[in-house]
Amino acid sequence: MSDATQTPSAAATAPATVRKDLAEVAEAAERLLHTVTELEPGQLSEASALSGWSRGHVLAHIARNADSLVNLLTGAASGQHIPQYADPEARDRGIEEGAGRPLDEQLADLRGSEERFEAAAAALTGDAWAFAVRHRRGYTFPAADIPWKRLMELEYHHVDLDAGYTPAHWPAVFTERELRRLTGLFQGAPDVPGVLLLTEAGGAGLRIGDQADPPELTVEGPVRGLVAWLSGRSDGDGLQVHRGDVRVTDPRSALPQLPPVG
């Protein structure tokens, strides 16, 4: 795949944040491909970390997600609304149809879909990145957010593949930004008790759930560990939990159930 920082339009006209995100996407894609090339063919049919999905399902989803984002990028380039998927069933159908393919086909599809994503991003001029595209769930967002959404798919589902890549491997730039995004999603979330999140690096705490003072729980740990729990990739292992001034012996039993994130 090409280096996203070297595509002419991305380097010349895309906002600086978009250029950085595209570079992160290219690196994340290479890490994923390295993991997949190390798999044995029989491992694709084994269970992933996602309930009901094999590793083949996860890989098919990653490839089809790239193509769905190509649709959004193509729409932004032309100033037209192109659906992320052709119809409501297309996403699940593409995953099921691609899940059982042999390893060489999965690899070729991953590479090809990522190259199509890079090419579609390179085709956007500066103004097109401000175009509002529509997510499959109905909400709109600027095309400039598409590279980060792709990065989320790559990093989270690389972990979901359950093939040796863990939250400990996530780049710091990814986890630091995701911590802010996820806490924003869960701030004031109904049925979630107040939780103060503290990172080992110090600094101001972040709140999720009920905003009434004082928070019911204080959760402290490395940024990667907090993001892993908030994103549903960890049960809280490695985090310290306090209820008031008392440290909870088993953090996993005290942490609240969080709603799934998309």
Between the CA of residue 40 and those of 7, 28, 53, 106, 217, what are the distances in Å? Answer: 34, 21, 17, 12, 43
Residue 38 and residue 94 in one domain: yes
Size of the chain, expressed as the number of residues it contains: 262
Quick: pLDDT tens for 126-148.
899 999 999 999 999 999 999 99
Q: Assess if residue 214 is contained within a domain.
A: yes
The amino acid occupying position 78 is: S
Query: How many domains is the chain built from?
Result: 2
Residue 161 and residue 178 in one domain: no
Residue 134 and residue 204 in one domain: no
Q: Assess if residue 262 is contained within a domain.
A: no
Q: Assess if residue 260 is contained within a domain.
A: no
Which phi and psi (to 5°) does residue 195 adopt? -135, 130
Q: Which of 165, 191, 213 is the last residue of a domain?
A: 165
Cα 179 versus chain centre, distance:
12
Which DSSP string do the residues of the chain spell out, in sequence order? ---GGG-HHHHHHS-HHHHHHHHHHHHHHHHHHHHHHTS-GGGGGSB-SSTT-BHHHHHHHHHHHHHHHHHHHHHHHHTS---SSSSTTHHHHHHHHHHT--HHHHHHHHHHHHHHHHHHHHT--TGGGGSEEE-TTS-EEEGGGHHHHHHHHHHHHHHHT-SS--GGGS-HHHHHHHHHHHHHHHBT-TT---EEEEETT-S--EEEB--PSSPSEEEEE-HHHHHHHHTTS-SSTT-EEEETTEEPS-HHHHSPPPPP--
Structural domain boundaries enclosing 233: 172-254
Among 167, 166, 157, which residue's Cα sits nearest to residue 62? Answer: 157
Low-confidence ranges of the chain (pLDDT < 50): 2-9, 11
CA distance 27 to 47: 26
Check which CATH number belongs to the domain holding 233 and give it.
3.30.1050.20
CA distance 17 to 209: 29
Dihedral sign (CA 3, 8, 10, 12): positive
Write down the pLDDT at residue 10: 52
Q: Give the position of tokens 């995701």.
A: 178
Between the CA of residue 162 and those of 24, 136, 227, what are the distances in Å? Answer: 21, 27, 17
Write down the pLDDT at residue 166: 98
Quick: pLDDT tens for 42-64.
999 999 999 999 999 999 999 99
